Structure 1
Amino acid sequence: MSQGDWQRDVLRELGQGTPSSESPDRPTATPRPTHSEPATDSKAGSPSDEPGPAPGPAARGPRDPRVPIQAPQSVPTVDPRLAQAMGRPVHGDSVARRTGRSLRTLGASAAREVAEETQRARELQQPVTTGRLIAVTSVRGGVGKSTVAALLSRIFNHYRHDPVLALEADAALGTLPVRLGAESVRWSCAELAQILTPSMQLTDVIGYLVPVADGGWLLPASQGRVGAPLDVRTYRTVTLALRRYFAVTVVDCESLPGEVARTAMDTAHARVVVAPMTAEGVNGTRIVLDWLAQLPHSALATTVVALTANSPDTTLDLKTASAHLRETGVPVIPVPYDRHLAGGGPILNAMLGRDTRDAATVLAAEALQRAVRVR
C-alpha cells in the first residue's frame, strides 16, 4: 500500500473483508485462523491438523514456508474459577462527586470545558502518514504501567477512525489483556513473528489478533504462562512488520532496565514513562529521564511522564514532585487515584472518574503530538 494513502487503504480493506484464500496473490502456505477457531480453509491448509508442537519464543532462523504452523489453543486470561470471585466494578467517582460535577457543568465553565475537549479531539485525530509507535514503561512494576497503556489504547480507539493496536511487550504474566477486557488469548508475538510476510494485508493480520470490545486490536506477549520472555529480535520483527497496518501502536513494555524495554524506548516515536507518586518512584524516573537525554537522538523531546497516584492517601507533594521531573524539559501529566482502576479487572470507559478520563486524554494527545514530529 502507498505511504501517503495508507489509512484509506486499510479502511477499504476492512470494509471489504475479503478472505485471504480468495486473493490470487496470497501465499497459500500462510494460515489465517480467526481468534476463536483454527483456520480450516483447504486452500491455505489447516494448521491444527498438522503434528508437532507450536513454535516457542526461542525459535530462530527463517521458517520453511512449506511447513504449516500449528495454531495455538485459546487460553483464558483469568482462570474461570477465579473469574467468579470478581466483584462488580466500582465507579471511579463517588455519587457525591458525580452530582457536584453535574451541577458545575450548568455554569459558565461548561463552554470552556467543551472548547478544551474539542481541541484535544483535534490533536488526537490528526492524520499520520506512517504508523506511530508509543512505548509505555516504568522504573519498576506495580505502578500502573499496563493500566496507563490500556487507557491510552482506549483513548486512541475512541477518537481515531483508523486502526489502533495495543501490543504487549511485558513479561509472560503481563496484565494488559485483562485490562483491555480480553477473555482469552491465542496467538502471541513469538508465533506471529514467524508467519508475518510483506504480502499480508490488514484483513489477514487481524485474524491473528484479539479484538478489543471498544475497538482496536490486541497482540499479547504470551499466553500467560511462565516461560521464555519476549526477546529483542522478536520484538523488532513484530513492530517493524505491524506498524504499517496501524495508525497508532501502544506498546506496553517491560520495566526498565530490561533489554526489550530499552530497545522499545530507543526505537519508539514517543515514550510515556509511568512514575508512581512516591519519593523513590520520582527519583528513579528522574534517573531514566537523564539517561534518555544522553541517547544519540532527541529521545527526551518525545517523552511524557505520567505521574500516577495509586492510593487516595498519597503524601508526596504533587507540585514539588512534578517540578523535579519537569526540570528535564518533559511534560508531566498527573493521573489521579481512581477507584475503578484500583479495583483491577477490565477497564470500562463509562466507569472511569471524570478527572481520570481527562488526564488520560491529555496524556494521549501529548504523546501523539510528539510522535508525529519524528520523521
Structure 2
Amino acid sequence: MAGESDWQHALLRDLGTDAPSRPVLEQSAGATGPESAAPAPPPDHEPAAPAAPPVPRQSHSANLPGPVPQSVPAIDPRLLIALGGPQHGDSLTRRAGAGLRRLASSSGQEVAEQTRLAREVQQPVTTGRVIAVTSIRGGVGKSTVSALLGRTFNHYRHDPVLALEADAALGSLPTRLGAEAVRWSCADIAQILTPAMQLTDVTGYLVPVADGGWLLPASHGRVGAPLDMRTYRTVTLALRRYFGVTVVDCESLPGEVARTAMDTAHVRIVVAPMTAEGVHATRQVLDWLAQLPHAALETTVVVLNTQSADASLDPEVAAGHLRLPGVPVVQLPYDRHLAQGGPIHTDRLSRGAREAAVQLAAEAMRRAVSVR
C-alpha cells in the first residue's frame, strides 16, 4: 500500500502540489464513522471556464512532421447561444417531491451506501487503469457516459484522471466536458511522447477540464481521419503511466479501434439505448465478449441509457436481458440536462443521474483493481 501512495504522491509533486486538493478526499481521510465519510455533494456553482492550455515546459513539437496545430473552438459559439441556459435534470415538481421524501425518511442507510460507493471509487491503483466506453452504434450516449465517468473520478479521486477521445469522426467528448477549444489530437501526441517527458510536459498538450482533470481530443474540432490502431496503442500505453485512471470514449463497434480497446482495456463499459433493437444488439456484443480468449465479461459493465422521457420499454425486462453472470447493468435514467446535448454541469444533473454515475464509477473501479 505504501508503494501505491508513493506513486500517487509523486505524480502530485510533479504537478507542484504534495497533497490532494479535493475536499471530499480530505474529509474521507479523517472520517471516524460512516456519516462523516459520506461523499461531498457536487459544488453549488459550476467552476469557471478553464484558462487557455498552458505552454509545455519543454518544446517537443519539433517531432511533428507538419506545422503545429492551431487552437480551434470545440463547438460553434452560435450553437451555444442557441442552446441557452442549462436545464436542471429534474423538473421543479420532481425536485420538491424528492426533498420531501428525504425529510420524511431516515438517511442512515443512504449515507452508508454513498460511503461504500465513494470508497470503491477511491480505491488506490499501482499502475494506471484504462476504462473503455463503447456502443453498438453512435448517438446512444457513450460520450455522455464517458464525460460523467471522467467528472465522477475527478470529484472523488486525488490522482490524475484523463478523458481520452478515440472517435475522430463522431465523438463529442470535448463538448460534453465543456472544452472551449481543442488543439492537440491523439495523432499529434503520438509523435511527441517520449519516455523522458514528465507529467507537466504531457499536460501542456492536453485540455484542462474545469473540474481538475484533462482531456485529449481525437481530432482538431472537425471530422478527421479515423484513429488507427497503432496510434491508439501508442497513446494509451504511453499515457497510462501518468494517470491513475484513463476513460476512453471509443468509436462504435465493430470499428477496429473499438475492438482493440475492448480487448486491451482493464474495464469495458457498453452503453445500450433503452430501445428493443438497442438492447438486442448490445446483447450480441456481450455474447462476442464472452468468446474472447480472456475472461472479458468479468470486467464488463453495461449502462442502460434512457434518452427519451417517452421510452416505453420496460427497464427491468431490458436489464434482465442484458444481465449475464458477472455483468452488472447500471440504469441511467432520463435527465433533461443530459438530453440538451451541451456541456455537462454537475450541479444541474438529476439526483438519479448523479447516483447512476457514482454507481457506474464504483463498479468500474472494483473490476479495474482486480486486474493484474
Equivalence map 1:335-350=2 (5 Å) = 335-350=332-347
Q: Runs of 4+ in structure 1 displaced over 6 angstroms? A: none
- Identity over aligned residues, as a percent? 70
- 1:178 and 2:175 correspond: yes
Partner of 1:256: 253
Instruction: Give the match's secondary structure for 1:137.
Output: strand
- With over 3 angstroms needed to count, the CA separation of the structure-2 counterparts of 1:163 and 1:46, relative to structure 1, is closer
1: CA distance, partners of 2:324 / 2:71: 47
Q: Per the alignment, in what secondary structure is the counterpart of residue 271 of structure 2?
A: strand
Partner SS, residue 293 of structure 2: coil
Q: Distance in 2 between matches of 1:226 and 1:165?
A: 22
Q: Give the conservation status (yes or no) of the 8 Å contact 2:133–2:271.
A: yes
Q: Which residue of 2 aligns with 1:131?
A: 128
Report the equivalent of 1:197. 194
SS of 2:107 mapped into structure 1: helix
* Closer, same or farther: CA 306–197 of 1 in aligned 2, 3 Å: same
- Name the counterpart of 1:311: 308
CA deviations on 1:41-92 (whole Å, 9 max, x unpaired) are: 8xx5695xx8xxxxxxxxxxxxxx5x78743110101122333222111000
- For residues 277 and 232 of structure 1, the distance between their equivalents in structure 2, rounded to whole angstroms, comes to 30
The alignment status of 1:302 with 2:299, answered yes or no, reads yes
Q: Partner of 2:248: helix, strand, or coil? A: strand
Letter in 2 for 1:168: E
Q: Could you tell me whether the CA contact under 8 Å between 2:164 and 2:216 is conserved in 1?
A: yes
Letter in structure 2 aligned against 1:318: P
Q: 8 Å contact 2:138–2:170 — kept in the other structure?
A: no
Q: Distance in 2 between matches of 1:46 and 1:11?
A: 22
What is the aligned length? 338
TM-superposed CA distance for 1:133, in Å, is 0.3
The reply on whether 1:6 has 2:3 as its aligned counterpart is no
Q: What letter corresponds to residue 150 of structure 1 in structure 2? A: A
**1:154 maps to amino acid:** R
Once residues 66 and 115 of structure 2 are traced to their aligned partners in structure 1, the CA distance between those partners, rounded to angstroms, is 47
Query: TM-score normalised to the size of structure 1?
Result: 0.86
Distance 1:84 1:230, change over 3 A: same
Report the equivalent of 2:283: 286
Residue of 345, 350, 357 corresponding to 2:354: 357
TM alignment of 1:209-248, pairs within 5 A: 209-248=206-245
Q: How does 1:33-112 map to 2 (within 5 A)?
A: 36=53, 70-112=67-109
SS in 2 for 1:161: coil
The answer as to whether partners of 1:36 and 1:74 remain within 8 angstroms in 2 is no
Which of 128, 142, 145 lines up with 1:145 in the alignment? 142
Q: 1:275 aligns with which of 269, 272, 275?
A: 272
| 1:89–1:340 Cα contact (<8 Å) kept | yes
- Structure 2 distance, partners of 1:83, 1:359, is 27
RMSD: 2.1
Does the aligned pair in 2 maintain the 1:92–1:351 contact within 8 Å? yes
1:313 CA displacement? 1.1
What SS does the aligned partner of 1:15 have?
coil
Q: In 2 relative to 1, CA 242–107 (structure 1 residues): closer, same or farther, beyond 3 Å?
A: same
| Counterpart amino acid of residue 11 in structure 1 | L
User: In the alignment, is residue 330 of structure 1 matched against residue 327 of structure 2?
Assistant: yes
Indicate conservation of the 8 Å contact 2:162/2:245, yes or no.
yes
**Per-residue CA shift, 1:128-158, capped at 9, x if unaligned?**
1100000000001111110000000000000
Deviation at 1:102, TM superposition (A): 1.4
Which amino acid letter does the alignment assign opposite residue 366 of structure 2? Q
Which of the residues 205, 210, 221 maps onto 1:208? 205
Give ranges in structure 2 of 5+ residues lacking alignment.
Answer: 19-50
Q: Which amino acid aligns with 2:283?
A: R
For the residues of structure 1 that align with 2:140 and 2:17, how far apart are their CA atoms?
Answer: 42
Secondary structure, counterpart of 1:120 in structure 2: helix
What is the rounded CA distance, in whole Å, between the counterparts of 1:121 and 1:147 in structure 2? 21
Q: Point out where structure 1 has 5 or more consecutive residues left out of the alignment.
A: 18-33, 51-64
Greater relative contact order, per chain length (Cα 8 Å cut-off, separation 6+):
2
Of 92-101 and 154-163, more deviation after overlay is shown by: 92-101
When residues 116 and 46 of structure 1 are mapped into structure 2, their CA distance, relative to the original with a 3 A threshold, is closer
CA distance in 1, matches of 2:301, 2:309: 23
Judged with a 3 Å threshold, the aligned counterparts in structure 2 of structure 1 residues 293 and 95 are, in CA distance, closer, same or farther, namely same
CA distance in 1 between counterparts of 2:65 and 2:145 reads 37
